[in-house]
Amino acid sequence: MLRLEMNSMNRPLTPSLSPSEGERVAGGRVRGRFMVPMRGWKTVGTAMNLIQSLLVGLFFVCLFNCVNANDARSLPIRLLAKGALSAIKEAKQEVIRDAAAWERFRKQHSISEQSAEKIPPVDFSKEMIIAATMGTKRTGGYTIEIVRVEPTEKSLKIFVKRTSPPPGALTIQALTAPFHFVAVPKSDLKPEFVDAK
């Protein structure tokens, strides 16, 4: 077994093997004694640094896994249209699940037939549309964005982020009406719109 030799200051000098663990030779002496220098508090400090490094590493691994778990729950989002000028003058948040409802909504939104044709087609047997409009604003600098769509057991959480120009910012002095339309995989869950920060 490992045995420590102590000096007069009661500090360990060198560990050695007991006779039962060494190599016995003639006369009962032991060959195989080894010397390992002890560094006292430096050894303890090195161990503490190693433990701290391991804890920091575990923290970042857990953080990375939590972020990935949120991403795994989110539905993929396909951009249909985003801009600063919709014909819809009031703030709206809607989930559109069929072509007829989408056609009605698109007519309300489109300033002209040409702008309506730029929106990609949607297969409503596989997808549905989420639309968010911000309503009429007196200047530019406003935006609205559907940032994440996350199904839960009871609802479909739709995170919508709205931004406004900071006080005193230089903006276009014209009426705007920001909007964002996306397509996501079809779901029968009840939509729940959430303000995203």
pLDDT digits (tens, 9 = 90+) for 88-141: 999 999 999 999 999 999 999 987 665 555 899 999 999 999 999 999 999 999
> What is the number of other CB atoms lying within 10 angstroms of the CB of residue 180?
23
Q: Check residue 49 and give its pLDDT.
A: 75
- Asked whether residue 84 falls in the same domain as residue 143, the answer is yes
Which residue from 176, 105, 112, 95 is spatially nearest to 139, judged by alpha carbons?
Answer: 176
Reduce the secondary structure of 65-84 to three states and give it as a string: HHHHHHHHHCCCCEEEEEEC
Question: How many structural domains compose the chain?
Answer: 3
- Asked whether residue 34 falls in the same domain as residue 47, the answer is no
- Asked whether residue 96 falls in the same domain as residue 175, the answer is yes
pLDDT digits (tens, 9 = 90+) for 144-197: 999 999 999 999 999 999 999 999 899 999 999 999 999 999 999 999 999 998
Secondary structure (DSSP) of the chain: -EEEEE-TTS-EEEEEE-TTTSEE-GGG-EE--------THHHHHHHHHHHHHHHHHHHHHHHHHHHHHHHHHSPP-EEEEEESB-S--SEEEEEE-SHHHHHHHHHHH-SSHHHHHTSPP--TTTEEEEEEEE--BSSS--EEEEEEEEE-SSEEEEEEEEE-PPTT-----S-BB-EEEEEEE---SEEEEEE--
Domain of residue 23 covers: 1-38
The residues that bridge with 127 in the sheet, in sequence order, are: 185
Give pTM, 2 decimals: 0.64
- Asked whether residue 47 falls in the same domain as residue 67, the answer is yes
- Asked whether residue 31 falls in the same domain as residue 56, the answer is no
- Euclidean distance between CA atoms 123 and 186, whole angstroms: 10
- Asked whether residue 82 falls in the same domain as residue 69, the answer is no
- Asked whether residue 66 falls in the same domain as residue 143, the answer is no
Burial class of residue 91 in the structure, from the number of CB atoms within 10 Å of its CB (0-12 exposed, 13-18 middle, 19+ buried): middle
- Asked whether residue 130 falls in the same domain as residue 180, the answer is yes
Kind of pairing between the strands at 190-195 and 155-163: parallel
- Asked whether residue 50 falls in the same domain as residue 113, the answer is no
- Asked whether residue 65 falls in the same domain as residue 145, the answer is no
pLDDT level of residue 40 (50, 70, 90 thresholds): low
- Asked whether residue 136 falls in the same domain as residue 96, the answer is yes
- Asked whether residue 24 falls in the same domain as residue 57, the answer is no
